[in-house]
Structure 1
Amino acid sequence: MEIIRYADLKAEPWRNGGGVTREIARGVADDGGTAGSSAAWDWRVSIAEVGKAGEFSAFPGMERVLTVIDGELFLLTVDGVEHPLEKFRPFRFSGGAATAGALPTGDVRDLNVITRTGAFKGYTSIIELSKKRAHPLFAGQFGILLQGQAAVSPGAEALDRYDAVTGSDAETPEILGRGFLAVVSIDAVAG
């Protein structure tokens, strides 16, 4: 188990100046990467702060799951079709699609899961935490505290907003608290 503190993550500005991204984690296939890939990673989990409407960077050969985690509404246009994204509702789309975002109700923060098509599949679920029943995190999973108060065991270490916990099958971390947790799963595609 590892706790990734959001406060320690470096903000990387976007090329278009519309926001910043903080990378939580990234990974490559066991074979060292996908043959012929130009990217240094096969999957990535990050949180972006969007402060200006504009086009998204293209990620050809990738699939994206975007979830608004702060803010009311994000209008995402993918290949000419507008999709209104509300808080805590994951949306999957092609990373190579022509994509742009608009901010009709103000700035948003979103959770991004990007995976290389054919190598990995990413999933995002939003769960309500309980003080009575712990939520376990297994290998290939990340738990990100979106709202409320929570602690992770073993050790009952307190989590701050947007802190992430890596899952493990050997010593499965469990999260207790009140609020909402994003559970991101990165699954290798059998091939």
Structure 2
Amino acid sequence: MEMRAFPGDRPYRVTRKGEVKKTSWPGGTTSQLFILPGDADLGKRDFTFRVSTASVDVERSTFTPFEGFDRIIMTIDNDLALSHDGGEEVTLKKFEPHLFDGGAETRSRGKVRDFNCIMDRKTCRGEITAMTLARGSVLYPRKGNYGAGLELEIIYCAAGRLTFRYGETEERLDQGDVLAIDHGLMDSRYRLSNEQDQPCDLVVTLIRSVPPVQVARQAPHEP
């Protein structure tokens, strides 16, 4: 089944910091930056993937399990220690991504702000990259992958200001704003740049659909 991120043929969407859905959990707050489909319910586990940031305001916490999902977490300020199913702790530094099984019993140690991606492993794969754009830097003036299956790029402005240009359109993203690009609908080049005096920190999530498994069938033997 073909999945599209936005209504109609629109190739991108900007979500401002004030428009982001926020919820509380026992250890802090969560800001949902993107979920597909848009009307999915996190509690019902009926989503393909979800991207969010969260504050962890307690020294120790236990993650909510997501059976059948893969997760990537990245701290965007302090160190974060994680253990899965009682195993050895892994300590993450700022902007270091960590992929793990969402169904594992995961415990954390450390007060941080983190970035999360939860993916239904049957339907998609993802990766997270953090980068800093210096003043005057331009990030990959590139063309989309028009006509592709699900191929989404979620760009979170963690600090500074980002300028996005697509055709005659220009958008400016401030700290906390989110730019989502559907590469399957992006039919011309776009560019991202930092035109401010201060560095711009970005966290970029790339999501691709998993092709359906093709089952080879043997031809019946002739009698």
Question: Normalising TM by the smaller chain, what interval?
Answer: 0.7 to 0.9
Change (3 A) 1:121 1:136: farther
RMSD: 2.0
**Counterpart code for 1:24:** L
Q: CA deviation at 1:135?
A: 3.5
Q: Which runs of 4+ in 1 moved over 4 A?
A: 136-139
% same residue: 26
**Counterpart code for 1:10:** K
Matched, 1:64 2:71: yes
Matched, 1:141 2:153: yes
Q: How many residues align?
A: 177
Matched, 1:174 2:191: yes
Question: C-alpha deviations, 1:80-115, integer Å up to 9, x for none?
Answer: 221111110110000000001111xxx311110110
Q: CA deviation at 1:79?
A: 1.6
1:56-135 pair list within 5 angstroms: 56-69=63-76, 71-80=77-86, 81-103=88-110, 107-130=111-134, 131-135=136-140
**Residue in structure 2 matching 1:48, options 50, 54, 60:** 54
Inter-partner Cα distance in structure 2 for 1:116 and 1:136: 30
Q: CA deviation at 1:10?
A: 2.6
Q: CA deviation at 1:127?
A: 2.2
Specify every segment of 5 or more residues in structure 2 that has no aligned partner in the other structure, as ranges.
Answer: 1-11, 145-150, 213-223
Matched, 1:150 2:162: yes
2:33 aligned partner = 24
Q: CA deviation at 1:76?
A: 1.2
**Counterpart code for 2:129:** S
Inter-partner Cα distance in structure 2 for 1:136 and 1:116: 30
Question: C-alpha deviations, 1:138-183, integer Å up to 9, x for none?
Answer: 5511111122332222444321112110114235542211322111
The worse-fitting range, judged by mean Cα deviation, of 172-181 and 56-65 is 172-181
Specify every segment of 5 or more residues in structure 1 that has no aligned partner in the other structure, as ranges.
Answer: none
Inter-partner Cα distance in structure 1 for 2:190 and 2:68: 33
1:2 aligned partner = 13
